């Protein structure tokens, strides 16, 4: 897509999502419970996308590849091996901030 206001409807309908490794794209897809193949852009400098993709892959939540290995990844992947992404717990972060700032 060049630009869309929201991908929510596309994600709802998807059986599989292939995306770059942007944090928003990854987390939104995983929160919807959709299987995800993350394609890393190796040309980015200070590639934070690589770090996120590798960690999500190590944790078993996504398949990770680059453009040259995408077809092979799609052919060899077993979606049943992916682990569900745990839901966020914003209350833990709020408690941490309260403690740091001294509200507790």
pTM comes to 0.80
Structural domains in the chain plus CATH codes: 7-101 (3.40.50.2000)
Of 4-13, 28-37, 81-90, the range with the highest mean pLDDT is 28-37
Identify the pLDDT of residue 78.
Answer: 98
Supply the pLDDT for residue 92: 81
Q: DSSP letters along the chain, please?
A: ----S--HHHHHH-S-EEE---HHHHHHHHHTT--EEEEE-TTSSS-HHHHHHHHHHHTTS-EEEEGGGHHHHHHH--GGGPPPPPPP-HHHHHHHHHHHHT--
């Amino acid at each position: 897509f060049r630009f869309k206001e929201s991908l929510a409807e596309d994600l709802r309908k998807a059986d599989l999502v292939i995306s770059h490794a942007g944090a928003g794209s990854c987390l939104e897809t995983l929160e919807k419970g959709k299987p995800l193949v993350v394609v890393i852009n190796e040309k980015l400098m200070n590639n934070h996308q690589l770090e996120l993709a590798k960690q999500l892959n190590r944790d078993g939540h996504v398949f990770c590849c680059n453009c040259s290995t995408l077809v092979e990844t799609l052919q060899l992947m077993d979606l049943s091996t992916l682990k569900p992404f745990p839901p966020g717990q914003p209350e833990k972060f709020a408690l941490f901030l309260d403690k740091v700032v001294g509200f507790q």
